[in-house]
Amino acid sequence: MKLAQALFVLRRVLRSLRELVWTHLLTSGTMAMTLFIFGGFLLIQENLQGLLRGWGSRIQIFAYLENGLSPADLQSLAAEVRAYPEVESVRFVSKTEAWESFKKTLGTQSGVLEGLPPDILPSSLEIALQRAHRQRASVAGIAQRLRGIKGVGEVEYPDEWIEKLSLLVLGVQWAKWILGGFLFLATMLIVGSTVKLAILARKDEIEIMQLVGAPAGLIKAPFIVEGMVQGIVGASLALGVLWLLYLLARYHLPASLAILPSGDQLQFLDAAAASLLVFLGWLLGAGGSWFSLRRFLKTW
Amino acid sequence: MEKFARNEPALWMIQLFRVSKIYPPNYPALTDIHLHIEKGEFVFVSGPSGAGKTTLLRLLFREEEATEGQIIVNGRNITRLNGARVARLRQAIGLVFQEFKLLPSMSALENVALAAEVVGMSRTESRRRAFHLLRELGLKDKHDARPPTLSGGEQQRVAIARALVNDPILVLADEPTGNLDAEMAEETMRLFLKIHEKGTTIIIATHDSGLLRRFQHRVVLLQRGRLMADSKTAGRSMVSKVEP
Ligand SMILES: Nc1ncnc2c1ncn2[C@@H]1O[C@H](COP(=O)(O)OP(=O)(O)O)[C@@H](O)[C@H]1O
Ligand SMILES: [Mg+2]
């Protein structure tokens, strides 16, 4: 396409955006709704994942030790575990320490322990894992290996809620794509029909351009560029509304509703997610226009 | 861009070899047309309504595709063309219609300039050319007028200016005087003659036999999709047979 033709397209797009500003805004608004819902899922997913990471930092494996190990045995055992590549740190909890902390947990009811020998609880290793390994498969694998070590009795790790939270994240992830996919298609059809209206409104102009020998690309380009602009504006609208809701949730959610561990804050979409949303808007607009043009423009 | 109207030493502007057009499902609008038109000729395509005149022109600017036969325009076979080549063919042809086909929301000048702009001429140059053409065609004061405010004759002159803005080698006009009163029809025809004098090949489809008598040029007579007579091969006497 020659420069003169590109300028021609630009002028037409600007004219159309100016003259049909409300039509274009309406289409942008439609796209914004779809992108808002998709972006909402993204936001929820991102925060759940943050939650998972936060809780994950407190995932520890407890390896209870058998009675009668010598200090030297304990030393070498702890050293062996510390040498695992997945392990971040190992803390030894002596029988006495375990007893004290158990008593503390029971608080005022610690009277029930009266008369029991203070070495009734086993000593243990508290094993924290490296970030990359704070997931079920790794945890289970390491626990299995620990069980095989001589001197280690029971091995425990918090299992259920990691799994449940992971499932929730997975669910949101899928819902995002499935629901988002349906909405995307529906919006594309809506965009397609507004482009169809735009084509019908400019039917005579298009016919004349075709008759005087305008290249097909020149005739289509303004519609596609308009669609892209609509999509990007729609995505920006969606991001704006999400941002407002995010601020609202962050500062006005009652503390009792806060599911996040204290100190953690709700996160907004990161740059990649925001770009994804804008890209989807762009695609929505360009794709809707392109499909519609294919169906409504005469070709040879 | 490859220019369709490249220098072509041959004699013929248009050659139709046994061309037929059948509209779906099976309506034969043109049957077995064999017709040659020289460069620089002025030809009337005539015949009663429904004879196939419009169809013949539409085949030439590739709005329709021939069902059978071959069509050569300026030495190029246009029987089968892809979209890009159709566009290029049309850049070399000026089209004029009975209903003018002007855009009511644009001024006369913009209507003319649009045709040049979309094929790649700069906006300034397009408007300059449109300005000169309109002046040449006697529409000096009407540059900024919108078509609905113009008379039929003026609108047709704007349309002719648009047809000429890309320096066509061939002008096709389908009933260009159909919506005009006698006086304006006369004026419009004189315009076509003027364009013809500059060497442009002109083909005018009309069912108005009055025009054929007043302007003595080659007449090709269609009837029910068949080429019934051609004054070039039969002499002028046939014109009298063309009463509607
Ligand atoms: N697109 C079309 N589909 C079907 N039949 C058509 C179409 N266009 C024209 N026809 C028919 O073809 C015949 C020739 O039409 P046309 O070329 O318009 O004749 P003319 O211009 O001489 O009046 C007419 O009978 C018309 O009804
Ligand atoms: Mg006709």
Nearest to A208 among B61, B92, B103 (CB): B103
Which residues, listed in sequence order, are joined to residue B23 by a DSSP beta bridge?
Answer: B27
* Closest alpha carbon to B152 in B192, B180, B190, B188: B180
Give residue B193's pLDDT band: very low, low, confident or very high (50, 70, 90): very high
CA distance A159 to B111: 75
**Which of B118, B127, B165 to probe the A interface (max A CBs under 10 A)?**
B118
Query: Does B241 score more than 60 pLDDT?
Result: no
Query: Does B207 score more than 50 pLDDT?
Result: yes
Identify all chain A residues contacting B61, using CB atoms and an 8 Å cutoff. Answer: 211
Cβ contact A214–B87 (<8 Å):
yes
* Closest alpha carbon to A122 in A74, A159, A81, A168: A74
Give residue B1's pLDDT band: very low, low, confident or very high (50, 70, 90): very low
Distance from CA of B236 to the nearest CA of A (A): 34
Q: Which ligand is nearest to the CA of B52?
A: 1
Give residue B91's pLDDT band: very low, low, confident or very high (50, 70, 90): very high
Give residue B9's pLDDT band: very low, low, confident or very high (50, 70, 90): low
Domain positions in chain B are 104-167
B91 touches chain A (CB under 8 A): yes
Distances (CA, A) of B20 to A84, A220, B33, B57, B61: 85, 32, 6, 13, 15
Residue B11 phi/psi, 5° resolution? -80, -30
The answer to whether B57 and B6 are in contact (CB under 8 A) is no
Q: What Rg value do the Cα atoms of chain B yield, rounded? A: 18
CA distance A214 to B1: 13
pLDDT (mean) for B176-203: 93
Between residues B126 and A194, which one has the greater pLDDT?
Answer: B126
Between residues B15 and A19, which one has the greater pLDDT?
Answer: B15
User: What confidence tens digit (pLDDT) does each residue in A177-221 have?
Assistant: 888 888 888 888 887 887 788 788 888 989 999 999 999 899 999
The answer to whether B31 and B225 are in contact (CB under 8 A) is yes
**Cis previous bond, B25, omega within 30:** yes
Identify all chain B residues contacting A20, using CB atoms and an 8 Å cutoff. Answer: none
- The DSSP H or E segment spanning B190 is helix B182-197
Nearest to B90 among A8, A11, A212 (CB): A212
User: What confidence tens digit (pLDDT) does each residue in B128-146 have?
Assistant: 999 999 999 999 899 999 9
Domain A60-157: give its CATH code.
3.30.70.3040
Query: Does B244 score more than 70 pLDDT?
Result: no
Nearest to A215 among B87, B92, B117 (CB): B87
CA distance A291 to A222: 14
pLDDT (mean) for B174-179: 94
Indicate whether residue B23 lines ligand 1 (CB < 6 A).
yes
Written as six digits, the tokens of B84 are: 């890009």
Identify all chain B residues contacting A5, using CB atoms and an 8 Å cutoff. Answer: 117-118, 120
pTM for this entry: 0.74
Indicate whether residue B183 lines ligand 1 (CB < 6 A).
no
| CATH 3.30.70.3040 location in chain A | 60-157
Between residues B74 and A107, which one has the greater pLDDT?
Answer: B74
Digits of tens for pLDDT over chain A (300 positions)? 678 889 999 998 998 888 888 888 988 998 898 889 888 888 887 887 777 666 666 677 888 888 888 888 888 888 888 888 888 888 888 888 888 888 887 777 777 777 788 788 888 888 888 877 777 777 788 888 888 888 888 888 876 666 777 777 788 778 878 888 888 888 888 878 877 887 888 889 899 999 999 998 999 999 999 999 999 999 999 999 999 998 888 777 655 445 555 445 678 888 888 999 999 999 989 988 888 888 777 665
Q: Which ligand is nearest to the CA of B56?
A: 1
Largest Cα span, chain A: 104
Give residue B149's pLDDT band: very low, low, confident or very high (50, 70, 90): very high
Strands B68-73 and B76-77: antiparallel
Indicate whether residue B33 lines ligand 1 (CB < 6 A).
no
CA distance A125 to A80: 12
pLDDT score, position B134: 96
Cβ contact A300–B62 (<8 Å):
yes
CA distance B2 to B92: 11
pLDDT score, position B7: 52
Kindly report the length of chain B: 244
> Complex ipTM, two decimals?
0.88
> What percent of chain B has pLDDT above 90?
80
CB atoms within 10 A of CB B36: 15
Kindly report the length of chain A: 300
Sheet holding B93-97, edge to edge: B93-97, B170-174, B201-206, B42-46, B218-223, B226-230
Average pLDDT, chain B: 90
Query: Does B85 score more than 70 pLDDT?
Result: yes
Closest residue in B to A2 (Cα–Cα): B120
- The DSSP H or E segment spanning B38 is strand B27-38
Ligand 1: residue of B26, B44, B55, B206 to mutate (most ligand atoms within 8 A of CB) is: B55
Nearest to B83 among A7, A209, A300 (CB): A300
Sheet holding A60-65, edge to edge: A87-93, A124-129, A60-65, A152-156
B188 touches chain A (CB under 8 A): no
B118 touches chain A (CB under 8 A): yes
CA distance A71 to A78: 11
* Closest alpha carbon to B45 in B196, B243, B227: B227
